Amino acid sequence: MSLLDDIAAALDLPPSSLPLSPDGGGGGSGFASTGVAKDSSGRRYFYKKGSGASDAAMLNAEYEGVKEMHGTNTIRVPEPLAFGSIEDYPKSGPFVVFEHLRIGGGGDGAEMGRKLAAMHRVESPDGRFGFRIDNTIGATPQRNTWEETWADFFIKHRFYAMLQKCSNLNFETSELREIEEVIRAELEARPVPPSLLHGDLWGGNGAFADGEPVIYDPATYYGDREADLAMTELFGGFSGDFYQGYKEAWPLDAGYERRRVIYNWYHIANHYVLFG
């Protein structure tokens, strides 16, 4: 069977919708190849395809993260439709299928901010921080082991985890402990609900589809909502209306500017890991 046959099987399409045919959009997305398929009714599907076990894990993590966000019915994400595992589709290899969105054009930035704030209002079921599956930030593995407090989660699974990938940046152990104490004091200074986060919200992962705000390609977990907001400011790409809409829906707490530095260090260090 071909890849499109396997995708049709994973989607459980009725015979009246078959066959699937390629509809352009081929290319690459980091580790995966991408494409667009169309069924006989004209409905289009966006898919990503990997090759080995590591690709399967990354695709499954993306699928589960988008599914978590989609289930909130807040800000739009591409509807997750199917994940094809290596075990089920050994000839095609792992793949994930999403609703195809017509990305492009402008929209209401304030609406995007309000809808992101609404997603951030969604908290983890048991009040802990993390996620049910590890994922990646870019191509870097990202551990999401559940923790009872935000400070513990960030220090263990963001600060020290990324430092290890940077060979500790030649810091002495005593220096790292001092930095940890500063971070812990800052993150414990206010109550933090475990908000559902996109996790990789730079300008390239947010857009408009037919005028409606949409976000995609997440590194999902439950954490401090300010971590998402901080990243939107790191590389730009979001309008002033976006921030106004977000703050109208959910104002930021005092001290955000200090915490923004802590949260964006993680992404800057990740760029060091990825690109040197």
Q: How far is CA 246 from the centre of its chain?
A: 19
CA 130/CA 139 separation, integer angstroms: 19
Whether residue 200 lies in the annotated active site: yes
Tokens of 276: 């040197």
CA 208/CA 110 separation, integer angstroms: 12
Burial, 117: exposed, middle or buried (Cβ in 10 Å; 0-12, 13-18, 19+)? buried
CA 142/CA 216 separation, integer angstroms: 17
Check 6, 55, 200, 217 and give the catalytic one.
Answer: 200
Tokens of 182: 């500063």
Residue with token string 């995609």: 216
Closest CA to 246 of 258, 263, 229: 229
CA 184/CA 152 separation, integer angstroms: 8
Catalytic positions are: 200
